[in-house]
Amino acid sequence: MPDPTRPVDGAATETEWGQAVHDAVFTPKGVIVAGGSSTACGTAFEQLQLNTAVDDPGGWLASDTLTVPAGAGGLYDWAVRWSTDNGSAGEVARFLVKVNGANYLEIRLDSDGTTAVFGGTAGLMILAAGDTINVWGAKSGGLDPDILVRELSFVRRASELGA
């Protein structure tokens, strides 16, 4: 559905315009997923599991990858929560977000042996229909840490940045 135009004086806002605004505000496009299980990661980046659709009304998730559906491009709030354990203390677990196969953001957590360590980050991202997002894990050295995607979410904030 295209964005509604600005209402004009005397126009009824409870029909098409009002419904479009209601849907954009109260039921924005987006997805929330998680990894089904952790992945033991070596020094080369390995794709992490994204196979649990927590909330995916638009059908973004397939084969450990999110794909922005047709008509769902725009400005997105996004967040990720992840954890790692079983890595060597003093080494680092690495978490990489890729968009369309290109590195977008890398996050690092210090490993602490068998003690689970939790991390996350959030931001804004402009996405277009057909864009793909997946996540990868690696280590700096030592034992292979188990890396788990606890939650990855994208919620559409707007069509674009306005003036």
Domain ranges of the chain: 29-158
Other C-beta atoms within 10 Å of 34: how many?
18
- pLDDT band, very low/low/confident/very high, at 66 (cuts 50, 70, 90): very high
Q: Which of 10-24, 61-75, 90-104 has the lowest mean pLDDT?
A: 10-24
Does the pLDDT at position 19 exceed 80? no
Which residue type, as a one-letter code, is found at position 42? Answer: G
Does the pLDDT at position 1 exceed 60? no
Share of the chain above pLDDT 90, in %: 80
- pLDDT band, very low/low/confident/very high, at 18 (cuts 50, 70, 90): confident
Indicate the burial class of 27 (C-beta count within 10 angstroms; 0-12, 13-18, 19 or more). exposed
Other C-beta atoms within 10 Å of 94: how many?
20
- What is the pTM (predicted TM-score) of this model? 0.89
Other C-beta atoms within 10 Å of 36: how many?
12
Which residue type, as a one-letter code, is found at position 106? Answer: E
Burial 117-154 (b: 16+ CB within 10 A, else e): bebeeeeebebeeebebbbbbbbbeeebbbbbbeebbb
Q: Which residues, at least 6 apart from 66, have a Cβ–Cβ distance to it below 8 Å?
A: 31, 33, 50, 60, 132, 133, 134, 152, 154
The pLDDT of 78-83, averaged and rounded, is: 98
Does the pLDDT at position 111 exceed 60? yes
Indicate the fold that domain 29-158 takes in CATH.
Jelly Rolls (2.60.120)
42 phi/psi in degrees, rounded to 5: -90, -160
The pLDDT of 105-134, averaged and rounded, is: 96
**More confidently predicted of 78 and 20:** 78
- pLDDT band, very low/low/confident/very high, at 65 (cuts 50, 70, 90): very high
Other C-beta atoms within 10 Å of 78: how many?
21
DSSP element (H, E) containing 15: none
